[in-house]
Amino acid sequence: PFIKSHRLYGHIDGTTPAPPMYIDREVKKTVVGDQAAAAAAMSEIRFEYETITENNLEYEAWLAHDQSLVAYITSTLSEEVLGGIDEDLTALELWSTLATTYSQ
């Protein structure tokens, strides 16, 4: 009930994949041609575009939810089971590892 009630099931069935960690954003910059001409108000003004890479806030929110789910799942596991689990897993990777290891 916890996983579904918190809308986290998609993290373990793969229907809520991680968004990109970074996103590119285009920024418009105003460029004045000749500084001497600019003083005479006769310069050419043009726009240039620059692409900058930023952290994706959607990824950061996804990661926070995902790691909350990882913490919840691992809190239900015994020390013996935890010993065989890598520490840096997503919820989907953790769930898949547990399913593969203990589904027999």
Question: Which token pair is 102?
Answer: 């203990």
At 95 the pLDDT is 96
What are the boundaries of each domain within the chain? 1-21+56-104, 23-54
3-class DSSP state of 54:
strand
What is the torsion angle, in degrees rounded to the nearest 10, for the CA atoms of residue 77, residue 81, residue 87 and residue 92? -70
High-pLDDT (> 90) share of the chain, %: 71
- How far apart CA 61 and CA 8 sit, in angstroms, is 12
Q: Check residue 45 and report its DSSP letter.
A: E
pLDDT tens readout for residues 27-83: 998 888 765 555 555 668 888 999 999 999 999 999 999 999 999 999 999 999 998
pLDDT for residue 41: 58
Per-residue pLDDT, 74: 95
pTM of the full predicted structure?
0.75
Residue pLDDT, tens place only, 1-41: 889 999 999 999 999 999 999 999 999 988 887 655 555 55
| Coil, strand or helix at 89 | coil
